Amino acid sequence: MLLGVLVVLCFIPAADVTENKILVAQSPLLIVDNKNATLVCNYTYNGTAEEFRASLHKGTDSAVEVCFISWKTTRNSSNSNEEFNCQGIHDKDKVIFNLWNMSANQTDIYFCKIEAMYPPPYVYNEKSNGTVIHVKETPIQIQEPQSTIPLWIMVTMTGVLGFYSMLITAVFIDYWQKSKKNMYHQSDYMNMTPRHPPYQKNKGYPSYAPTRDYTAYRSWQP
């Protein structure tokens, strides 16, 4: 009886020790300075599936599916949530999610999910530690209104105005110096108005009449 039991046990097929499993690894943190982020999901899979689906989820409960990509051995397809700008790319043993035009309110933790769709069995990875994407706020830059006049025209006009200012100043200084010299010359002129001798004041002659010399008449008297 014992021999029969042993023979039966020998014909029981051995269990398959190879487990159909997907493992995912993500970087813990991404700092976004320019509104663009690239999240890489590395994965390992030891099964035989040919059709896969990878998706990116937002939030601790993975409630929001940001975008996904599905692929077979011959073709790929990708889709994105309307609230995000996201595109997935499959590359051998990793999936790359590119996000752009992100805003500060999209800062959160993001999880990668990899699924083996077909043929069965359907498997997906256990939830990873996720990646915190921290989107920094972009400071608002106030741009000063730019002048429509080209720079070279402004430089030329400034040079011309400067030249004319110097020319007018030089003409004014020259005119002022000449005027000053003329004033000095006029003050040096002598007063050439003729003066009458003192003894002729009571003669009754007009001031403009010439004075007669009587000494000549006296010389001819006997």
Sequence ranges of the domains in the chain: 19-135
Alpha helix stretches (DSSP H) within the chain: 2-10, 151-188, 215-218
- Please give the DSSP secondary-structure letter assigned to residue 73: S
CATH topology (fold) of 19-135: Immunoglobulin-like (2.60.40)
145: phi then psi, degrees, rounded to nearest 5: -60, 130
pLDDT above 70 for 206? no
* Selection from 110-114, 166-170, 196-200 with the highest mean pLDDT: 110-114
Exposure of 160 in the CB half-sphere (CA atoms within 13 A): 6
Measured distance between the N- and C-terminal CA atoms of the chain, rounded to whole angstroms: 213
Distance CA 15, CA 7 (A): 18
What is the per-residue pLDDT for 10? 38
Q: How large is the average pLDDT for residues 199-207?
A: 54
Which of 44, 38, 48 has the alpha carbon at shortest distance from 25? 44
The average pLDDT across 79-100 equals: 92
Is the model's pLDDT at 155 over the cut of 60?
yes
- Rounded Cα gap, residues 20 and 44, in angstroms: 11
Q: Which residues contact 29 (CB under 8 A, 6 or more apart)?
A: 131, 132, 134
CA–CA dist 210, 206 (Å, integer): 9
Average pLDDT over residues 207-218: 55
207 secondary structure, DSSP code: T
Helix/strand/coil for 8? helix
